[in-house]
Amino acid sequence: MENWAVITEDLSVYYPTTEVQALRNVNLKIRKGEAVLILGRTGAGKTTLLLTLSKIIPNYVTAHVKGKVFVNGIDIAEEEPENLAKHISIVMQDPSMQIISLTVFDEVIFGPLNLGYSYEEIMKRAEDSMRATRLTGLETRNPRELSGGQQQAVIIASILAMGSDIISLDEPISMLDPIGKTLVLSTLKNLKAMGKTVLITESGSDLEYVINSGLIDRIILLKKGEVVADGPPHEILSREDVLRESEVNPPQVTELFMKLGRGLSEDGVRPITVEEALRAMSNWTFKAPRRSVKSTPAETRRAIISVKNVEFIYPNGVKALKGVNLEVYDGVVQAIIGQNGSGKTTLAKILVGLLKPTNQDSEVIVDGMDIRNMQLEDIIKKINYVFQNPAEQLFCDTVIEELVYGPKTLGVPEDQIKERLNKIVKLFDLEGKLNKYIISLTQGEKRMVAVASIAMLKPKILIVDEVTGGLDMLDARRLLNALMKLKQEEGLTIIMITHDMRVVAEYADQVAVMSDGKIVCAGTPREIFGRRIEELKKLSLIPPQITVLANELNKIHSCIPRDILSIDEFLECVG
């Protein structure tokens, strides 16, 4: 077993609360030094696999485990979990679950300190890991005061500092900005070069980032607890039938080649990065598309939100907002994008009255009212907010209790609550989950419940922070389509804060780009992604993969528009 980092033999896991097996007869061999992507929809068994390898299941999470697991040749059934930490460490999907210290520095050194490393070694590990995750300068900050993405970076840094041979990460870049994603993946690539074994789970939303990093040697595709495909990235991502059955979307350039029926070679292996697609298209002919982009200019509508010269300084002296000006128009989908720490969440909290501007010459008008002088219970009738981490606003035991909690608190009559409940449950696909305990839900299911519980209140404006966080592509689309239906039927204005540029391209009417506490540019998705791409590059923001491909091809074939936002639009350009 000396060449194997992980071996599982007929591994099956099922939770007492369900009759469905989370893992079913999983047989794997993962070599030392290998970087493996464990791919699959939410509920496919990815997290369960990592928790079982680290022995968190069944020691801390109750579940029945059958079969054998060997880590670095050790039968984990005979090893204490704390001793396994020297061999395998895990970064959880929800960073708040792992934060235990009052400063970033203390959080990072906690692991190596308890493993008995020398003072000099601990300091070196802390410095190296914080530099790798862009935490230098935040050593004295309270991690719970940081953005969700920064919290994720803190946990990754603490894991890196422990120096385990096998590093497993559950959706590690799901809450990070583009530059954070790139840096973390680059760090993991360096660790792999040092001989570390890297295991990453991914539901699909960040698949392009992970693949483009060049980190991954192998993809294991899970569906309903079973391994349905296992092999090199090009091979797995070219298997259209298996991906479709597993409800996982390939990278956009791969999907483009699938729709065209073209591949890189006779065996049907297709490109998975923009660079590969460009090489494959070197001899293609292109044509100008026939398209007519029809949209109602946002400026012709009423500004339902007007923000002028808003500043905010936290008690510790951090100036999060530096004179923000923004207008959001009635009935539109307004996206706000930017790096972690750029001020997006702080601005959202000011819009809903959770924070107040720290300068007197500011203005925050929501639906004609200056919310700086309003009480919170009056504000939430006009505008409401879904937190970045849904666990922060889920208070009840069961899903149905959570959904009706808000309306009951506000004194909404029972018959109106029942009518609203029926609509929201169907819209957000929560039928069959009403009696489930919140604590038993996946992160994605918690996100769905959190959004649905706010939708129960019928606000005029809904802010969703990290709108697709924790969701796979299918559930993300289900959630966004539900919000679009509320927009269409009820005139809901939606503000979504997101790092998912594909979501922005497909769903947003307007985009505001934030950096260093300011809005640096704004416009439609076509204007921002197609005509201001150089500004985005300076901010390390990356447009959708298909838009990047169009921009690169436009340098050679001017007939291809730079502002292509979808695969279907690109298909019109292929001769």
Per-residue pLDDT of the chain (575 residues; tens, 9 = 90+): 678 999 999 999 999 877 788 999 999 999 999 999 999 998 899 999 999 999 999 998 899 999 999 999 999 999 887 788 889 989 887 777 889 999 999 999 998 998 888 999 999 999 988 887 778 999 999 998 887 668 878 888 898 888 888 999 998 888 777 777 877 788 788 889 888 999 999 998 899 999 999 999 999 999 999 999 999 999 999 999 999 999 999 999 999 999 998 877 666 789 999 999 999 998 899 999 986 544 545 556 789 999 999 999 999 898 999 999 999 999 999 999 998 889 999 999 999 999 999 999 999 999 999 998 888 888 988 999 998 888 788 999 999 999 999 999 989 999 999 999 999 999 999 998 999 999 888 777 888 999 999 999 999 999 999 888 778 888 889 999 999 999 999 999 999 999 899 999 999 999 999 999 999 999 999 999 988 888 888 888 889 999 999 999 999 999 999 999 999 999 999 97
Judgement on whether residues 330 and 401 belong to the same structural domain of the protein: yes
Alpha carbon distances (Å) from 379 to 452, 457, 479: 19, 12, 24
Judgement on whether residues 276 and 312 belong to the same structural domain of the protein: no
Alpha carbon distances (Å) from 314 to 151, 189, 206, 326: 17, 36, 32, 21
Q: How many domains does the chain have?
A: 3
Q: At what angle do helices 104-114 and 148-162 cross, to 10 degrees?
A: 30
Q: Round to whole Å and give the CA distance between 549 and 257.
A: 13
Give the residue from 92, 526, 540, 90 showing the smallest Cα distance to 338.
540
pTM: 0.86
Task: Give the DSSP letter string of 514-539.
Answer: EETTEEEEEE-HHIIIIISHHHHHHT
Q: Is residue 294 part of a domain?
A: no
pLDDT at residue 266, rounded to an integer: 61
132 within 8 A of 191, measured Cβ to Cβ: no
Identify residue 538 by its one-letter amino acid code.
K
Alpha helices in 301-432 (DSSP H): 344-351, 376-379, 399-409, 414-427
Determine phi and psi for 304, rounding to 5 degrees: -85, -20
Residue with tokens 């992507």, as numbered in its chain? 37
Q: Is residue 170 part of a domain?
A: yes
Judgement on whether residues 549 and 538 belong to the same structural domain of the protein: no
The strand pair at 303-313 and 35-39 is best described as unpaired
pLDDT at residue 17, rounded to an integer: 73
Alpha carbon distances (Å) from 169 to 58, 118, 125, 166: 18, 26, 19, 10
Q: Is residue 296 part of a domain?
A: no
Q: Round to whole Å and give the CA distance between 466 and 569.
A: 27
Q: Round to whole Å and give the CA distance between 115 and 161.
A: 11
Q: What is the dihedral of CA 434, 436, 437, 439, to 10 degrees?
A: -110
Judgement on whether residues 539 and 553 belong to the same structural domain of the protein: no
Judgement on whether residues 227 and 309 belong to the same structural domain of the protein: no
Q: Round to whole Å and give the CA distance between 243 and 221.
A: 9
Judgement on whether residues 354 and 272 belong to the same structural domain of the protein: no
Q: Round to whole Å and give the CA distance between 255 and 563.
A: 19
Q: Is the dihedral of CA 59, 60, 64, 69 positive or negative?
A: negative
Q: Is residue 191 part of a domain?
A: yes
Q: Which two tokens stand for residue 261?
A: 């029926």
Q: Is the dihedral of CA 347, 489, 291, 303 positive or negative?
A: negative
Ranges assigned E (strand) in 158-290: 166-170, 197-202, 218-223, 226-231
Residues 6+ positions from 556 with CB-CB distance below 8 Å: none
Q: Is residue 293 part of a domain?
A: no
Judgement on whether residues 533 and 549 belong to the same structural domain of the protein: no
Q: Round to whole Å and give the CA distance between 120 and 22.
A: 43
Q: Is residue 295 part of a domain?
A: no
Alpha helices in 54-147 (DSSP H): 56-59, 81-84, 104-114, 119-132
Q: Is residue 289 part of a domain?
A: no
Judgement on whether residues 118 and 256 belong to the same structural domain of the protein: no
Q: At what angle do helices 148-162 and 119-132 cross, to 10 degrees?
A: 140
Judgement on whether residues 193 and 182 belong to the same structural domain of the protein: yes
Q: Of 225, 246, 267, which residue constitutes the final position of a domain?
A: 246
Helix (H) or strand (E) holding 11: strand 4-14
pLDDT at residue 569, rounded to an integer: 94
Q: Is residue 333 part of a domain?
A: yes
Judgement on whether residues 520 and 438 belong to the same structural domain of the protein: yes
Q: Round to whole Å and give the CA distance between 263 and 283.
A: 14
Judgement on whether residues 27 and 60 belong to the same structural domain of the protein: yes
For the domain that residue 78 is a member of, what is the CATH number? 3.40.50.300
Judgement on whether residues 421 and 457 belong to the same structural domain of the protein: yes
Q: Structural domain of residue 11, as residue ranges?
A: 4-246
